[in-house]
A and B are shown apart, each in its own frame.
Chain A
């Protein structure tokens, strides 16, 4: 249903929306621009920056110094692994909370969420000791485990709110048909829940990809993801804007592209059942 709008109003809205959208996006655009400039040009005034020559030098320097491919794959493995694990644990939990709620379900959910508010640094030393004893330092498994636990509360909660929107009658009907519980989950619930699961999955990949504390503390080389790659460019001696920009672009590009392609999917579940 199209709404009636006067041409002037539409022009104003178009200009306003584009301006604001551009301003919000500008910092990202700017690092992409700087990444193609030389170090000397990157610190000049914005106009001079735009007028100066384009170069791939910073990408060459970064490539020469760091093993981007390895950091990239580690990020992929860790974010996908922890997402998969979190979903495997969270789907049954969220399902039972949504359909067989107990008296304490709400409290339990809130308690889970509150675990996320604990400052991670507070438990670093104990966890480091545990990781050392279980030989989990600098392993994919260890990091996948930690990131799963860190994001589990949000995952459960998203799935819970999403599952709650599924009308109970459908399940009742399936049960009357004599479908078993497992069957119920696989053939009735899952297809209906796919959009919610998909967006939970996407959000979790983003959160895991961008997690910058544990990934830095618990890895050294073999399992070190892109957050560590960035940490070697953060404030070196001398001029570094162009190299930092190139490294930043390389670190955020994969997730940015994933996010853009899947934004419709992401948005659908992000509403947390808030839209009736």
Chain B
């Protein structure tokens, strides 16, 4: 029964991947078809040895790490808050969940133009009203701005999962601990957090998968710049294959990204997958 899905996925993986692997050994410029020559490992050599490669690697990790931090910590805090009884819970929940439904291109366009634009953006208007110089987010702190935009999209997801988990917490146990005089902090550390471990794991796992391939947000806002300050690995592959039309180099980059993704997958499986067993 497993087989149809596995075979399909395998074909999906293997056919384009096989072609990509083949292209990665060719000198293949999209604008000069019919000129392909065997390039050996040249493409790999050039891809890894460009200065942008290492900064792209760092940026990818910073982006994933940054968004994970904001969404897990923010998600836990928000879930704890929304778990309290208050008026209009349903409406607040609807508002909090909304960003998750917004397409990445739209959210990037909106943040870039309507909020972060240093002349017409909301933040600039606020800064001017307060008598401050508008801050130019996307050129002064490009990566941090992108982290903010992506975190905004993913915070609802983390909040929702953690909130659901929190609602299944044993209330009597909590109340008993409260009676015993355990402080709020102690209750959080010893009761709430262990209860949430598995959900946090899920949040991290799922988000990592999506965050490693963040692309649209960068394309729309900074185009990877200034310099390579906000270029991550998928964007570097894009720049190589579709801006430079160097399909060979781009394919080599793609293969490298696949290898790195599998390393991350193994890492996730070892470190986090264990949590899911319990």
Decide if A171 is an interface residue (CB 8 Å cutoff): no
Question: Contacts A24-B155, A119-B234 given: A5-B85 contact, CB under 8 Å?
Answer: yes
Looking at A2, A18, A119, which has the most chain B CB atoms within 10 Å of its CB?
A119
Q: Note all chain A residues with C-beta closer than 8 A to B209.
A: 113, 116-117, 154
List of 3 A-B pairs having minimum Cβ-Cβ separation, nearest first: A122-B254, A126-B19, A117-B261
Q: C-beta contact mask, A110-144 vs B, less than 8 Å → 1, else 0?
A: 11111111111111111101100000000000000
Looking at A17, A270, A272, which has the most chain B CB atoms within 10 Å of its CB?
A17
Q: Are A241 and B120 in contact (CB under 8 A)?
A: yes
Report Cα–Cα, A87/B216, bound state, in Å: 26
Decide if A221 is an interface residue (CB 8 Å cutoff): no
Q: Which one of B37-45, B91-99, B136-144, B185-193 is at the interface?
A: B91-99
Q: Note all chain A residues with C-beta closer than 8 A to B237.
A: 119, 121-122
Report Cα–Cα, A3/B171, bound state, in Å: 9
Q: Note all chain A residues with C-beta closer than 8 A to B168.
A: 275-276
Q: How large is the interface on B (under 10, 10 to 19, 20 to 34, 35 or more residues)?
A: 35 or more
A-B contact pairs, 10 of them (CB 8 A): A24-B95, A27-B152, A89-B5, A90-B5, A92-B1, A110-B268, A114-B262, A213-B216, A227-B105, A267-B164
Q: Are B247 and A125 in contact (CB under 8 A)?
A: yes
Q: Are B241 and A124 in contact (CB under 8 A)?
A: yes
Q: Are A118 and B164 in contact (CB under 8 A)?
A: no
Q: Are A256 and B106 in contact (CB under 8 A)?
A: no
Q: Are B107 and A106 in contact (CB under 8 A)?
A: no
Q: Note all chain A residues with C-beta closer than 8 A to B152.
A: 24, 27
Give 8 A-B pairs besides A125-B241, A270-B164 with Cβ atoms closer than 8 angstroms.
Answer: A20-B78, A27-B107, A31-B114, A119-B254, A122-B237, A122-B254, A149-B12, A272-B206
Chain B contacts to A: CB under 8 angstroms: 1-2, 4-6, 8-9, 12-13, 15-17, 19-20, 23, 30, 78, 81-82, 84-89, 91-107, 109-111, 113-115, 120, 122, 125-126, 128-129, 152, 155-157, 160-161, 163-165, 168, 171, 198-199, 201-202, 205-206, 208-210, 212-213, 215-216, 220, 233-234, 237-238, 241-242, 247, 250-251, 253-255, 257-258, 261-262, 264-266, 268-269, 273, 276
Report Cα–Cα, A246/B8, bound state, in Å: 40
Q: Note all chain A residues with C-beta closer than 8 A to B103.
A: 209-210, 212, 226-227, 230, 251-252, 255
Report Cα–Cα, A151/B35, bound state, in Å: 36
Report Cα–Cα, A274/B234, bound state, in Å: 30
Interface residues of A in 227-276 (CB under 8 A from B): 227, 230-231, 234, 241, 244-245, 248, 251-252, 255-256, 258-260, 263, 266-268, 270-272, 274-276
Decide if A73 is an interface residue (CB 8 Å cutoff): no
Task: Tell which of A96, A111, A274 touches B2, judged by Cβ atoms closer than 8 Å.
Answer: A96
Q: Are A30 and B102 in contact (CB under 8 A)?
A: no
Report Cα–Cα, A75/B45, bound state, in Å: 41
Report Cα–Cα, A65/B242, bound state, in Å: 28
Decide if A34 is an interface residue (CB 8 Å cutoff): yes
Nearest residue, chain A, Cβ from B111: A27
Q: Are A123 and B4 in contact (CB under 8 A)?
A: no
Q: Are A156 and B109 in contact (CB under 8 A)?
A: no
Nearest residue, chain B, Cβ from A88: B4
Q: Note all chain A residues with C-beta closer than 8 A to B95.
A: 21-22, 24-25
Nearest residue, chain A, Cβ from B213: A119
Report Cα–Cα, A107/B95, bound state, in Å: 38
Report Cα–Cα, A60/B101, bound state, in Å: 25
Q: Are B254 and A45 in contact (CB under 8 A)?
A: no
Q: Note all chain A residues with C-beta closer than 8 A to B19.
A: 123, 126, 129-130
